[in-house]
A and B are shown apart, each in its own frame.
Chain A
Amino acid sequence: DGGITQSPKYLFRKEGQNVTLSCEQNLNHDAMYWYRQDPGQGLRLIYYSQIVNDFQKGDIAEGYSVSREKKESFPLTVTSAQKNPTAFYLCASSIWIRAGNEKLFFGSGTQLSVL
């Protein structure tokens, strides 16, 4: 089955701890994205990547970091600098961003909570 796999489904973070959310896609898409979802605030873009070894900050990048070493993988690290990390995190991909108007394919999300 082609798609996007996010893991884990639930994650708990202790204060001062960095945690990494996994996102893998087998759709052969060039572009990948990380969104944060909070109730009543919609989907806010954290980071996106159009090509391997390149990524750009989205609207709320502070306290987060990413890497894109492989086309299939785009992990997100929530650092201790992110003071309010509790949210539902969604990874997405699209064929490529420069075509515009591209359909986004989303994973099933990771719910991150603070202990």
Chain B
Amino acid sequence: QQQVKQSPQSLIVQKGGISIINCAYENTAFDYFPWYQQFPGKGPALLIAIRPDVSEKKEGRFTISFNKSAKQFSLHIMDSQPGDSATYFCAASMRTDKLIFGTGTRLQVFP
């Protein structure tokens, strides 16, 4: 019940396309859902986060969509660029508890 399931494991998108990464969870007590971006040889960095009181959050080309009833959330990258090529991790946590990370999605954006 503590798991966060992430898919796909890898994703190849053409420049200008939309990248979509999905995550699902079981624990309804989770109340914080961040996405982290990791470039090769570097540590992850917070990209965008959402709480369950909203269904969507947008920051530039990055959007989180949240479906509370389905216990799913997804990251959409609009107008994907080669510089977006990285590994993306979704995560979830309950208040006062540690983050649970998904298994990661390696995104490659080709020109």
Residues of A whose CB lies within 8 Å of any CB of B are 4, 6, 33, 40-45, 48, 58, 90, 92, 97-101, 103-104, 106-109
Contact = CB atoms under 8 A, between A and B. Distances in A.
Contact of A106 (B44, B96, B103): B44
Contact of A48 (B34, B43, B98): B98
Contacts of A40: 9, 103-104
A41 B42 CA distance: 17
Chain B: interface secondary structure? loop
Interface residues of B, number: 26
B7 to A, nearest CB: 12
Contacts of B103: 40-42
Interface string B50-64: 010000000000000
A65 to B, nearest CB: 19
Contact of B97 (A90, A100, A104, A109): A100
| A interface: dominant SS | loop
A43 B98 contact: no
Contacts, number: 59
A30 B92 CA distance: 21
B43 A108 contact: yes
B32 A100 contact: yes
Contacts of B101: 42-44
B12 interface: no
B32 A43 contact: no
Given A101-B31, A107-B43, A42 B95 contact: no
B95 A101 contact: yes
A64 B58 CA distance: 40
Given A40-B104, A101-B93, 8 more contacts: A42-B102, A43-B101, A90-B44, A97-B98, A101-B49, A103-B49, A106-B45, A109-B41
A92 to B, nearest CB: 7
